[in-house]
Amino acid sequence: MSNVQVTCHENSFGAKVEGVDLSQPLDEDTVRTIRDVWLDHQMIYFPNQPLTHEDHARFTRYFGDFGSEPFVKTIDEHKHIIEVRREPRERVSPFGASWHSDWSFQSQPPAATLLHSKIVPPVGGETLFADGIRAFEELDAGLKRDIEHLTAIHSARRPYSHEGFARTGGDRRSMTILPSDSAWETREHPVVRVHPESGRPALWVNPVYTIAIKDMDERASKDLLDRLFSHALDSRFVYTHVWEPNMLAMWDNRTVQHCACGGYDGHLRVMHRTTVAGDTPH
């Protein structure tokens, strides 16, 4: 029987999960319980979880196949793990420091991201999470109707084209970024995404990868996206996560976007990240 203990956050967005040791194989009942908690709260985290690469990978695979990791070099011994690293000397913005949903430019973006803290700075370094389900629920009825059947265009060009890489200081990072002309490719996804498991609709556009609204002129598209971004990232829908060493966080990219905070210049920060493969947004 599962001994999972859950402490929920305000508005049921985010939850702390205890009573489980992720360094050990888990039984089906425990995995099912954790999956249900994740689906209910969208972002969950497990404190006090020292994990090896193998532990991290095993836990990820309980939730599906690994996602693919474009544009960023994975660690040599584990091709599905990215080391999110920022050295004390770095002065460029942290990796992931603009609001985004991981790899939303893919035809099948990841369902989940799992991030494990290895070295946490003594100040700063938080991660912000935004609840796309509640953001959609609290749109006014007219705007809901206006956007429910719209399609957004997503692309990796801003951070991962050669031009974007140069503009964002990618060559000054300790992480190995792999810019490519393929970053100019586009994918079309619904502005309002229906979660394939819970059936709940979410506002699903983000400032990094969503570049336009299909079949809308440039000015109107920008105005609408700016309005939706502003609403989605309102403080009512945002949770600030404070990291501790050996903490694993897991969030649902199908409804959540996130942003890495700085504020720790002069200190090392090291995290390890995996993703779970997703499906085609609808």
pLDDT, averaged per 10 consecutive residues of the chain (282 residues), comes to 88 97 98 98 98 98 97 95 97 95 98 98 98 98 96 98 91 92 98 97 98 98 98 98 98 98 97 98 97
pLDDT of residue 168: 86
Query: What are the structural domains of the chain?
Result: 5-276 (3.60.130.10)
Place of tokens 């009512």: 236
| In the block, residue with structure tokens 């609709």 | 201
Residue 219's Cβ-count burial label (10 Å; 0-12, 13-18, 19+) is: exposed
Residue 126 token pair: 């938080």
DSSP string, 67-98: PP--SBPPBTTBTT-EEEEE-TT--SPPTT-S
What is the predicted pLDDT for the residue at 76? 93
pLDDT score recorded for residue 169: 85
Confidence at residue 171, expressed as pLDDT on a 0 to 100 scale: 84
The whole-number pLDDT of residue 189 equals 98
Whether residue 274 contacts residue 160, with contact meaning beta carbons closer than 8 Å, is answered with no
SS3 223: helix
Find how far residue 47's CA is from the centre of its chain.
Answer: 19
Cα–Cα nearest to 147, from 207, 211, 227, 257:
227
Side-chain-side CA neighbours of 67 within 13 Å: the count stands at 27
Q: Are 13 and 239 in contact, with CB atoms under 8 Å apart?
A: yes
Tokens 């972002």, located at residue: 43
Sequence letter at residue 32: R
Q: Decide: pTM greater than 0.85.
A: yes
**Measured between alpha carbons, how far is 251 from 197 in angstroms, rounded to an integer?**
14
Structure tokens at 249: 């966080």
Taking alpha carbons only, the member of 41, 32, 48, 31 closest to residue 6 is 41
